[in-house]
Amino acid sequence: MMELGTIVFYQHRDVFDEILLHMKAKEQALSLDDKTFEEHYTYSRQALFHILYQSNGLWGFVCHEIKRRDGSIGYKILNKDNSITEINKCDIYFALKMDDFTYTHWTEMKDKRNIKTSSQGTPITKKPSDSSIKKAKMVTKAYLGKQRMLYQIVSLEEGNPYYSNSHPFNSQWNDYDPYRPSENPFSQYMKSTWHYPTPNSPQPYQRPSSPSPKNHPQQWNWKPNNTTFHAVPFLRDNIKPTTFSVVHEMDSAANDLRMFVNFPQGLPLSFA
């Protein structure tokens, strides 16, 4: 099963192959670790992944798995036009996971399943300050709202995100406040130390929960009615990956990787 947000390459395989040819990289080499790849090719494997990511027409973000009546598996993905497309699992020839990424905008949430919208149905999207983004911690990915868009949920322990009024989004939606729930809606994803709102209430206790996301092991201090949650849309002009890892190898990699490592120039055959 592909995780939400996985980058799946499913079309224009000829363009994908042309990129590899231009970069003088073999399919098998995509599954090497970064150090081995760079030792062989003298450039970064991550640089190649960024080039592939910038080739918008090849891939989409996984939004939802589909189990069909005939037993086949499909996926709903967010394509290059930021609209939802359904593809077959067998169409996927390569896939990457973003180990980390940055972003510039987020959308305010109404509750754990919905985002806030204006009376015209427009998502309330704002540009937080760099310091607010830096303080925000990743919680989980979710497929939210009537628009059924893929989001990364983030939280600010102390709430109070800063929005500069100089940005038109912020001034336009200034009257829409962040989501500050009284109960933790994502406790299954968050290691939360609960803080009671009054000095006379009982001592805080450690609430047992599932581990925090693998790539973002963090400790959250949960503060009812103060901690805020925000939804970062997986729009291509918003999500800026920093590093990737391979989660679906090319067909050739599983069979030929060892041969490629040992004999990168081909088998040393002799016809004496």
Residue 75 has a pLDDT of 96
Q: For residue 22, which amino acid is it?
A: H
177 and 251 in a single domain? The answer is: no
11 and 119 in a single domain? The answer is: no
Q: In the chain, pLDDT over 90 holds for what percent of residues?
A: 68
84 and 122 in a single domain? The answer is: no
pLDDT tens-digit profile of 68-112? 999 999 999 999 998 999 999 999 999 999 999 999 999 999 999
Q: What pTM value is reported for the model?
A: 0.81
Residue 214 predicted with pLDDT over 60: no
Confidence band, pLDDT 50/70/90 cuts, at residue 198 = very low
Asked if the structure places residue 81 within a domain, the reply is: yes
Question: What is the extent of the structural domain holding 154?
Answer: 104-233
Residue 187 has a pLDDT of 85
HEC readout, 54-73 = CCHHHEEEEEEEEECCCCCE
Asked if the structure places residue 271 within a domain, the reply is: no
249 and 229 in a single domain? The answer is: no
pLDDT tens-digit profile of 139-184? 999 988 676 789 999 999 988 899 999 999 999 999 999 999 999 9
133 and 226 in a single domain? The answer is: yes
Asked if the structure places residue 175 within a domain, the reply is: yes
13 and 66 in a single domain? The answer is: yes
133 and 175 in a single domain? The answer is: yes
Residue 215 has a pLDDT of 41
121 and 204 in a single domain? The answer is: yes
Asked if the structure places residue 247 within a domain, the reply is: yes
Q: How far apart are CA 189 and CA 233, in angstroms?
A: 19
Q: How far apart are CA 154 and CA 168, in angstroms?
A: 22
Asked if the structure places residue 272 within a domain, the reply is: no
247 and 183 in a single domain? The answer is: no
Residue 149 has a pLDDT of 86
63 and 181 in a single domain? The answer is: no
Q: Which two tokens stand for residue 238?
A: 């918003």
Asked if the structure places residue 267 within a domain, the reply is: no
258 and 164 in a single domain? The answer is: no
140 and 246 in a single domain? The answer is: no
Cα dihedral across residues 130, 84, 65, 87: positive or negative: negative
Q: How many domains does the chain have?
A: 2
Asked if the structure places residue 183 within a domain, the reply is: yes
Residue 272 has a pLDDT of 39
Confidence band, pLDDT 50/70/90 cuts, at residue 33 = very high
Residue 39 has a pLDDT of 92
Confidence band, pLDDT 50/70/90 cuts, at residue 250 = confident
* Residue 248, beta-bridge partner list: 95
Q: What is the residue-averaged pLDDT of the chain? A: 84
Residue 144 has a pLDDT of 84
Confidence band, pLDDT 50/70/90 cuts, at residue 196 = very low
Q: What are phi and psi of 158, to 5 degrees?
A: -90, 0
Asked if the structure places residue 1 within a domain, the reply is: no
Residue 207 predicted with pLDDT over 70: no
Higher pLDDT, 240 or 255: 240
Residue 120 predicted with pLDDT over 80: yes
Q: How far apart are CA 104 and CA 238, in angstroms?
A: 6
